[in-house]
Amino acid sequence: MAEPLMKLSGVHADIGQYHILHGVDLELPRGELTVLLGRNGAGKSTTLRTIMGLTDVPRGRVEFKGEDITGWPTPRIARSGIAFVPEDMGIFQLLSVRENLDLAAASGPIDKERLEWVFGLFPALKKFWQTDAGNLSGGQKQMLAIARAIIEPRELLLVDEPTKGLAPSIINDLRDAFRELKDQEATILLVEQNFNFARALGQTVAVMDDGRVVHAGSMAALAEDDALQQDLLGLSLGAHQ
């Protein structure tokens, strides 16, 4: 098997005095969209934050492109080619869509072709180019947050629960955008609670429970196995259709 783009081996993570991750093993195959599933509080967001260097890692190893990045400061991790869309989206509410994207382009003015490509994924951002981000709808804010992460090419994109609180029609737009993103270039790690969204996009899946990955494999296999879903996630696909 080809070397994964990212590999977590036995990763423990602390937030303050709390020990949250208890030995996470996770591999992200290059060019694939991996979905991280699991019940509330399983440690999914903490895993993304740990990859970005936002927690203490007393034990274990995080490798990106074969290099040990454990303990690197967050800006260095970002510069190495990893983009992160946190659950709270991290956009500047008082700045316009344009200003939000200008600030996200760290290496200079936004590349025109890249911007047109982003507008193709999220046409609303073109329409509301001069609008303050705080006045966008929830779905448009999520699109802006993702656009900020991809306004410059990145090798790995981490996205935390993009569908949270969004209406079904907006979720469909987001799904289409992620499909195009994964077809075009990126390796993506997506934290999701919405199993149908996850199933539509994921090639690979990892399921967390109590600070560990308890299942990893193909999404197709999990999507076909009602009993496994029930066991791992406490859900059956039938209940979610």
By rule CB under 6 A, what count of residues binds ligand ATP?
A: 12
Rule CB under 6 A: is residue 40 a binding residue for ligand ATP?
A: yes
Edge-to-edge strands, sheet with 212-218:
82-85, 156-160, 187-191, 33-38, 204-209, 212-218
Rule CB under 6 A: is residue 44 a binding residue for ligand ATP?
A: yes
| Residue with Cβ nearer ligand ATP (56 or 155) | 56
Q: Strand (E) positions, the chain?
A: 6-15, 18-28, 33-38, 61-64, 67-68, 82-85, 156-160, 187-191, 204-209, 212-218
Of these, 38, 53, 139, 162, which contacts ligand ATP (CB under 6 A)?
38
Of these, 4, 43, 53, 202, which contacts ligand ATP (CB under 6 A)?
43
Instruction: Looking at residues 6 to 25 of the shown chain, list those that interact with ligand ATP (rule: CB under 6 A).
Output: 15-16, 18, 20
Rule CB under 6 A: is residue 41 a binding residue for ligand ATP?
A: yes
Rule CB under 6 A: is residue 165 a binding residue for ligand ATP?
A: no
| Contacts with ligand ATP, residue ranges (CB under 6 A) | 15-16, 18, 20, 38, 40-46
